[in-house]
Chain A
Amino acid sequence: DSGVTQTPKHLITATGQRVTLRCSPRSGDLSVYWYQQSLDQGLQFLIQYYNGEERAKGNILERFSAQQFPDLHSELNLSSLELGDSALYFCASSVDVGELFFGEGSRLTVL
């Protein structure tokens, strides 16, 4: 158990819909990261937050947005979903530059 909690574990929805993925970081970690892992693909960096502020942005689509709340949990919002958005979405947390602790991931299936 990494200490990072992601919900939901699985989610099936239809094209055009909107979903929210939730992440609770390890106790004490201020940084939260979101990664997308498609079938047979690597880990694509989406976005990083540090103590509530956006710190770095990767290849995150405009249809996607995220935020980190005062209690440090984070949400990734995916809207106008397309078939190609089907993937495993990982959240990770860290203290600072160093080891990332990944959650178990949220598997999104868009039909």
Chain B
Amino acid sequence: GENVEQHPSTLSVQEGDSAVIKCTYSDSASNYFPWYKQELGKRPQLIIDIRSNVGEKKDQRIAVTLNKTAKHFSLHITETQPEDSAVYFCAAPKGGATNKLIFGTGTLLAVQP
């Protein structure tokens, strides 16, 4: 199928703790895995992405890991802050060069101060 499964659907953490969101995809041809952040009432914005030729990528407090064999990829946020509160979407392309980006169902992250 074309599903990108994302878990958990909601996540509540204390400020300063880490948060991990996991996604699985079905298309073995997928080679690009972005993560988007959508604040309330705003548009989705890319926060980090990874291509299939690497297993991990970091950008300050956020990191993404990829396991192509298992078709899993995860978003890791360390030292969470209240401004990290948002809905996070993973995505994976379907159909190779078409860039038909299929999004996961989203994770609502709440960082409690």
Q: Interface of A with B (CB < 8 Å)? A: 2, 31, 33, 35, 41-45, 48, 55-56, 58, 90, 94, 96-100, 102-105
Contacts and interface: CB of A to CB of B under 8 A. Distances in A.
B37 to A, nearest CB: 11
Contacts of A48: 98-100
Chain B interface main SS type: strand
B99 A43 contact: no
Contacts of A99: 34, 46, 49
Contact of B99 (A90, A97, A102): A97
Contacts of A31: 99
Closest 8 CB pairs of A and B: A56-B100, A102-B43, A43-B103, A56-B98, A42-B105, A97-B99, A99-B46, A42-B106
Interface in B32-82: 32, 34, 36, 42-46, 49
Interface of B: 32, 34, 36, 42-46, 49, 89, 93-95, 97-106
B98 A55 contact: yes
Max chain A C-beta neighbours (<10 A), residue from B32, B93, B99, B102: B99
Given A42-B89, A42-B106, A102 B45 contact: yes
Contacts of A104: 42-43
B103 A102 contact: no
B95 A43 contact: no
Given A42-B105, A48-B99, A97-B93, 6 more contacts: A55-B98, A56-B95, A97-B97, A100-B36, A102-B43, A105-B43
A43 B43 contact: no
Contact of A103 (B32, B36, B43, B49): B43
